[in-house]
Structure 1
Amino acid sequence: MKILILGAGQVGTSVATSLASENNDITVVDTDHQRLRDLAEKLDIRTVVGHASLPSVLAQAGAEEAELLVAVTSSDEVNLIACQVAQHQFRTPTRVARLREAQYLDVAGLADPGHSAVSAAISPEQLVCRHVERLIEFPGALQVLDFAEGRAQLVAVRAVPGGALVGHELRTLREHLPPGVDARVAAIFRDGRPVKPEASTVIEVDDEVFFLADRRNILTVMSELRRLVSRPVRRILIAGGGNIGRNLARNLESRYSVKVLERSRERARGIAEDLLNSIVLVGDCADEDLLREENIDQTDVYCAMTNDDEANILSAMLAKRLGCPRVISLINRPSYAELVEGGPIDIAVSPQLVTLGALLAHIREGAPATVHSLRRGAAEAIEAVARGDRRTSRVIGRALEELELPANTIIGGIVRGDKLLIAHHDLVVEADDHVILFVMDKGEMARVSALFQTGATWL
């Protein structure tokens, strides 16, 4: 597939890196010569220097032959104009834009997709807010990922001493669960390396375990891998009143007691007018005395959501040292996130990886319904919809044990209607089933996508 990526920032680089290994012809456009040079040295891609919205630059980049345009520059206006030029002048079939401004998102969402300049709009701020909300809702989870519009969830937890399943084989999982509750361990990462879950696999302390279950049963399954937090979440302190911090507070304030800490007095005044039930404070999130005054030791979750990685890391570590049981930090640099997560900071949230999954769902060939990037992009969880019938599909009418899956790909379950069916070897795939797969080797994505594509006949 010929793909044109506008913007070589962190999101654009993540998209290019993910797609370059999948036999795609990729061109990246940016105004920064050095950034493009560094990217070209790492990846087998073409680069073009120039303003992404100019017709001449898009023509030079090959927009006329491109099947897909991904506009992820730092400017909403540039992204929108580039999509409009690509549609009207170059007839680019699919145009995906990253948009930060909510008003632009409203316009893009209300427009007729068949005539809109933007085929799909992605908001990093909204995606990050939703991601953090899930982490707060399920204390102890490292990731909480929705499939089939929330009917099933994939949850990552770290196995700790005292968990009922720790030290036991996976085959005993059902013995520990109440009647009517089922789950499937989709993957295990041990010391950063994948361990394929077999019936005889023994879960060890500090294993990162991904399991799939019905949303209503998540807490029950989590209790088998770790002791659940005895203190329910009531009080939340959010450091940073930017788009993410403000939206997060707005989404949480009806269910929790929320405080927002913002350094700028003027911005804090605007946030206070915007929020209904939250308390807005003016101050530095790294001020130890201020955190003590606000009873950080009685706060259940501290969320460092400023636009400064160093400030987020330091304030989260300080909040943890002062007695806050759970701290979540927004960290843009992937190297920083890998360095600090699992230490004093419980969870490092990467906006680039959260956004990458949403982008891949729109741009990946075969168009999976949902894509989640895992383990800093090393693995993916995808939701593929079975289309066609037994004659035109490689999966419909076949039991899971009959499917020709790559070695490092595991099916966790199938969502059929409103019900999650946990994967077992004799489960038969039906038309319109939402199949949830865990792909531990991204090099296998082409084979997985091909498996769910329909043909004239596969018999």
Structure 2
Amino acid sequence: MNIVIIGAGQVGSSLAASLATEDNDVVVIDKNAERLRYLREKLDIDTYQGNASQPDVLESANVINADMIIAVTSSDEVNMIACQVAFLLFRTPTKIARVRSVSYLDHQELFSKDAIPIDVLISPESLITEHVYQLMSHPGALQVLDFANKKVQLVAVKAQLGGKLIDHEIRDFADHIPDVDVHVVAIFRKGRAILPDGDTVIEVDDEIFVIASVQHIRVVMSELSIVEKPYKKIMIAGGGNVGGNLASLLEKERYQVKIIEQNPETAGYLAEKLDRTLVLEGDAADEHLLQEEDISNIDVFCAVTNDDEANILSAMLAKRLGARKVMALVNRPSYVDLVESGIIDMAISPQQITLSGLLAHVRQGDIVSVHALRKGAAEVLEVVAHGDQQTSRVVGRTLVELKLPPGSTVCAVVKGSNVVLPSNSVVIEENDHVIIFLSDKRYIPVIEKMFQVGMGYL
């Protein structure tokens, strides 16, 4: 595909890097010459310097031949105008824009062909809020992904000493929890992906990705690590879009929530908006304030301000003062691994979360969702099978007959309301949702092509 990316920030650069490895023709537009130079040297892509909301810049960047435009600058207005110009002047088929302002998002009528013709809106704050909420709902999980309208979940868990299946083969799941269907999708051991089989032995510190029906996830996690009590008391540092929306979600689920916000106006707004959340005006890195608010009895301290350093420092302080778990929103990729190797339990990467949201709309074929695993090292796709044996490479075939690329495996097949875990006898039928793990993203185009409907495949 010919794809034009507007914005060479962290999200735009990560998206360009991901798409450039998949046989796409990528052009990145940005006003910053230094960012563009870095991308040209690092990736096999074209770049163009300029303001992408201006018609002459889009024309010079060859938008007229683009299949898709993805606008992810830091300005909502530039993103929206670029999509509007691309449609009106160049009839670009697919327009995707990152829009952050709630003021715009609350008026969906703005985004139509008669107004601002954007096909897909990506709201990073909404994606981040949902991501953090899922972590709160699944104590001990490193990542929680929903598939097939939340019928099935894939969860990442770190194997801990004391877990029932430590030093056991994967096949022992069947003996430990015989009434639960579970499939171990992948194991990351010392940073390397392993596609496990029944003989694979689970070791301490393995990062294990398991998939099962939603109602069984907690019992599956209990086999791999020490069962954590459900979280109840939550403290949020930062009352911006993410912090405010997260508090709103949590208080509805009967969590006890406190939110610390330094800006008096924002704190006042939150106090009026939230019903059961205690809003505190102050600095989340104030040791006296944290102690006063009983930080040692907080189950999760979550720092989600716009300042990486403030998030990291306040989370470290909260952990030292006794908080059970601490999370920090970290924008800089170079900080993420550094942070998680220290006393902070989890670094939340907005760019990886946003990238997953974008990729589902970039992939070809009927791909419902795409999720990046291990900070983008691998991906899980949910794709819908269409056609019949004459028009499809997958419909009517058993899983063992599929010619999947190396490092790929089917995690589950969802047939209507039934979740079917992989076995050689499972036959893919039309409208099945097939969930596929790929340890090497270079093979994504192969998967896309497999599920595209055409004539004369047999």
| TM-score computed with the length of structure 2 as normaliser | 0.97
- Rounded to whole Å, the distance in 2 between the matches of 1:369 and 1:347 is 27
Q: Within 5 Å, which residues of 2 pair with 1:376-395?
A: 376-395=375-394
| 2:11 paired with 1:3 | no
CA contact 2:83–2:116 (8 Å) conserved in 1: no
Which deviates the most, 361-370 or 45-54?
A: 361-370
Q: Which runs of 5+ in 1 are unaligned?
A: none
Distance apart, 1:112 and its partner CA? 5.0
Q: Within 5 Å, which residues of 2 pair with 1:343-358?
A: 343-358=342-357
Distance apart, 1:81 and its partner CA? 0.8
Paired residue type of 2:136:
I
Distance apart, 1:116 and its partner CA? 5.6
Distance apart, 1:260 and its partner CA? 0.5
Q: Which residue of 1 aligns with 2:87?
A: 87
Distance apart, 1:343 and its partner CA? 3.4
Paired residue type of 2:164:
A
Distance apart, 1:267 and its partner CA? 1.5
Distance apart, 1:109 and its partner CA? 6.8
Q: Which residue of 2 aligns with 1:205?
A: 204
Provide the alpha-carbon RMSD of the alignment: 1.4
Q: Which residue of 1 aligns with 2:432?
A: 433
CA contact 1:108–1:121 (8 Å) conserved in 2: no
Which deviates the most, 96-105 or 108-117?
A: 108-117
Show CA shifts across 1:387-424 (max 9, x none): 11111111111110110001200111011112211111
Paired residue type of 1:163:
G
- Rounded to whole Å, the distance in 2 between the matches of 1:431 and 1:290 is 58
CA contact 2:239–2:267 (8 Å) conserved in 1: yes
Paired residue type of 2:34:
Q
- Rounded to whole Å, the distance in 2 between the matches of 1:220 and 1:383 is 24
| 2:457 paired with 1:458 | yes
CA contact 1:108–1:118 (8 Å) conserved in 2: no
Q: Which residue of 2 aligns with 1:169?
A: 169
Show CA shifts across 1:146-180 (max 9, x none): 1112111110000000111111111111111142x
Show CA shifts across 1:326-379 (max 9, x none): 111111111111112153111111111011111111012225110001111110
Paired residue type of 2:315:
A
Task: Give the secondary-structure state (helix, strand or coil) at the position aligned to 2:249.
Answer: helix
Q: Which residue of 1 aligns with 2:313?
A: 314
| 2:235 paired with 1:241 | no
Q: Which residue of 2 aligns with 1:368?
A: 367
Q: Which residue of 2 aligns with 1:265?
A: 264
- Rounded to whole Å, the distance in 1 between the matches of 2:79 and 2:400 is 45
Q: Which residue of 2 aligns with 1:61?
A: 61
- Rounded to whole Å, the distance in 2 between the matches of 1:128 and 1:29 is 26
Q: Within 5 Å, which residues of 2 pair with 1:104-183?
A: 104-108=104-108, 111=111, 117-179=117-179, 181-183=180-182
Indicate how the Cα distance of structure 1 residues 110 and 47 shifts in structure 2: closer, same or farther if over 3 A, else same. Answer: closer
User: Would you say how many aligned residue pairs link Structure 1 and Structure 2?
Assistant: 457
Paired residue type of 1:318:
L
- Rounded to whole Å, the distance in 2 between the matches of 1:110 and 1:135 is 33
Paired residue type of 2:240:
G
Q: Which runs of 5+ in 2 are unaligned?
A: none
Task: Give the secondary-structure state (helix, strand or coil) at the position aligned to 1:157.
Answer: strand
CA contact 2:30–2:49 (8 Å) conserved in 1: yes
- Rounded to whole Å, the distance in 2 between the matches of 1:395 and 1:328 is 41
Q: Which residue of 1 aligns with 2:331?
A: 332
| 2:287 paired with 1:274 | no
- Rounded to whole Å, the distance in 1 between the matches of 2:418 and 2:134 is 21
CA contact 1:329–1:349 (8 Å) conserved in 2: yes
Task: Give the secondary-structure state (helix, strand or coil) at the position aligned to 2:145.
Answer: strand
- Rounded to whole Å, the distance in 2 between the matches of 1:109 and 1:26 is 31
Paired residue type of 1:213:
A
Distance apart, 1:455 and its partner CA? 1.0
CA contact 1:265–1:282 (8 Å) conserved in 2: yes
CA contact 2:112–2:118 (8 Å) conserved in 1: no
- Rounded to whole Å, the distance in 2 between the matches of 1:19 and 1:114 is 30
Q: Which residue of 1 aligns with 2:41?
A: 41
Distance apart, 1:208 and its partner CA? 0.3
- Rounded to whole Å, the distance in 2 between the matches of 1:397 and 1:339 is 47
- Rounded to whole Å, the distance in 2 between the matches of 1:418 and 1:367 is 19
CA contact 1:52–1:82 (8 Å) conserved in 2: yes
| 2:410 paired with 1:399 | no
